[in-house]
A and B are shown apart, each in its own frame.
Chain A
Amino acid sequence: MIATTISLALVGLLLIRTPIAVALGMASIIGLWVSGIDLAIAVQRIFSTNNSFPLLAIPFFILAGEIMSTGGMSRRLVDFAGALVGHFRGGLGAVAILGSGFFAALSGSNAATVAAIGGVLNQPMAEKGYRPPYTAATIAAAGVTGMIIPPSILLILYGVVTGVSIADLFIAGVLPGVLICASLLLVNWVLIRHETVELTPFKGGGEIWRTFRAAFWPLLMPVIILSGIYGGIFTPTEAAIVAVLYGMVVGWAYGELSPGSVYRAFFRAVLSSAIVMFIMNSAGVFAWLITINQIPQEISAWLAATAGSQWIYLLSVNLFLLIVGCMMNAAAAIVVFTSILYPAAMTFGVDPVVFGIVMAVNLSIGTVTPPLGVDLFIASAITKVSIERIVATIWPYILILVADLLLISFYPPLSTFLIGLIR
């Protein structure tokens, strides 16, 4: 009864374009009211969700990403990627993909990665004869690494909801991130046969060394962050704070940060964090309400009985989340569905870390699928190409991403190998 009321209210509100945070909050309020529970509990839950030290990693990693892209680091990373792979066939496409992979190690979000790398490469790619839809599709697809290669906002949210170690999740994201980068490079290499683009000559080992030295400080940062978190020196939140300081010092040393640009970076990070946390806060109320009504346990028991095996379960979860990802913001989806899908995954003996990586990769694909992929919107804004024309070009990238997702789902060592190695 309660379950029906809450889900009808939630779906109804979502359909009429209610902000996801309000839909979750209002559906919970209705549920509380029907159950005769004091509505003050909603305020109490919002407070205790928000009053959390681990979640503080999110605004600071977002801020670090903002500081790095204003501080001239994205350009230096692109230059280094250019010296490494720029002379191959489809060179600048490969530069976009590799550059995004590097930037993803500084930033926790896809949107920030697409904006940073797309902003640097849009012009040069156009000059070398890349068609704007091809440029847009490549930078959008490359952005998918943003939330897989650590740090990752999705993995922090998953860790906070489930209690799985964020440090483990970060390490587990490395190889899947590399796999995604490599497979996108492959698609770019094949697709570029049908494009007429100018080649850049190889500038020699000296150029690699010169651009490596210029990009040294940004490249060192992920090493400090990851080893700091995994070595037990920092908590993820402290690592995020150190990343901001590091970005500011390097950006200041490059002479590319002004008080005004730092203020604007803070302001943009406030808004992006508020958007994620507003949803997280309402989801806290929602999760509390469905948990006291035993709804996740019932769904999980039903799923366990229906799915039959781990393989079928993972396959159905993937299919379901791919559909959800097309319609819903990735952060909102991971917060809402983790509490429902996680218990059944544990029943089937899925590794908790692997399940987190699978959810993050899956929902990241949603950022490049129409109609709501945020990467598509940003790539479209940068390149001035309509969403429809990007979609017509991006589908081979989406197909390979789905193949990667299946590989990551059914070959757990991809995620767990590095954790075992480090322990």
Chain B
Amino acid sequence: MSLLKRPLDLSEKVLGVLCVAAFATMFVLGIATVVFRFLLESSLAFPDELIRYLFVWMILLGSAVAFRRNMHAAIGMFVDLVPRPLQRAALLGATAASIAFFLVLLVYGFSLTRVVQPQISPALEVSMSWVYAAIPAGALFLLIYALEFLAKLLVRPVEDVLAEGGQG
């Protein structure tokens, strides 16, 4: 566990930096589009497209960071009402569902990324694989963090696992 904690912390940090970099680029491109439209009265097609594609990457990778920080919205009021052993069972079930969902996204996302390879984006003229790859990439980190959460649930008391990270 503790052996894996450091590389996982590092991966989370790297994903965070990548998301901020994508967001900052989107912001600069967005300003550029507005300025171009005003000053030159012609709109650029490629920034609009690139902003959307970076958005896809930012959200998928950002979702993984938020997952590790236990920040995703969930309805906890029913689980809070039941005794500890049942709470653990519920959380195990919920984590299993997360793992299954992320696995589906990883596998099907990967195959779809390969399928769309011949498709070329209209403005940037790059393969659509570059954009679709965000889904399996995000799903991979979501899966890794969900497995880490599962491992924590198995070895530590429920309240400890829930107490760490964002809003619980």
Given A26-B101, A29-B104, A327-B77, A269–B23 Cβ distance below 8 Å? yes
- Asked if A39 and B19 make an inter-chain contact with CB atoms under 8 angstroms apart, the answer reads no
Q: Is B120 an interface residue (CB 8 A)?
A: no
CA distance A270 to B17 in the complex (A): 10
Given A43-B135, A274-B59, A20–B74 Cβ distance below 8 Å? yes
CA distance A275 to B80 in the complex (A): 22
- Asked if B55 and A50 make an inter-chain contact with CB atoms under 8 angstroms apart, the answer reads yes
Given A43-B109, A50-B56, A372-B75, A23–B19 Cβ distance below 8 Å? no
Q: Is A278 an interface residue (CB 8 A)?
A: yes
Find chain A residues with CB under 8 A from B33 CB: 238
Top 8 closest A-B pairs, CB basis?
A274-B62, A241-B30, A19-B72, A16-B90, A329-B73, A18-B94, A278-B63, A277-B59
Binding site secondary structure of chain B: helix
Besides A17-B91, A274-B62, A274-B65, 7 more A-B contacts (Cβ < 8 Å) are A15-B79, A19-B73, A55-B55, A59-B58, A60-B30, A269-B23, A278-B59
Q: Is B98 an interface residue (CB 8 A)?
A: yes
Find chain B residues with CB under 8 A from A270 CB: 16, 19-20, 23, 58, 62, 65
Find chain B residues with CB under 8 A from A327 CB: 75, 77
Q: How far is the CB of B92 from chain A (nearest CB, A)?
A: 9
Q: How far is the CB of A56 from chain B (nearest CB, A)?
A: 6
Find chain A residues with CB under 8 A from B55 CB: 50-51, 55-56, 59
- Asked if B74 and A19 make an inter-chain contact with CB atoms under 8 angstroms apart, the answer reads yes
Q: Is B66 an interface residue (CB 8 A)?
A: yes
CA distance A39 to B104 in the complex (A): 8
- Asked if A17 and B24 make an inter-chain contact with CB atoms under 8 angstroms apart, the answer reads no
Q: Is B93 an interface residue (CB 8 A)?
A: yes
Q: Which residues of A contact B (CB under 8 A)?
A: 13-23, 25-26, 29, 39-40, 42-44, 46-47, 50-53, 55-56, 59-60, 63, 234, 237-238, 241-242, 244-245, 263, 266-267, 269-271, 273-275, 277-279, 281, 327-329, 331-332, 371-372, 377
- Asked if A17 and B76 make an inter-chain contact with CB atoms under 8 angstroms apart, the answer reads yes
- Asked if A371 and B77 make an inter-chain contact with CB atoms under 8 angstroms apart, the answer reads yes
CA distance A14 to B100 in the complex (A): 15
Residue interface bits B51-67, CB-to-A below 8 A is 1, else 0: 11101101110110111
Contact among A25, A63, A328 for B23, CB-based, below 8 A: A63
- Asked if B75 and A241 make an inter-chain contact with CB atoms under 8 angstroms apart, the answer reads no
Q: Is B11 an interface residue (CB 8 A)?
A: no
- Asked if B93 and A47 make an inter-chain contact with CB atoms under 8 angstroms apart, the answer reads no
Which residue of chain B is the closest to A329 with respect to CB atoms? B73
CA distance A197 to B58 in the complex (A): 48
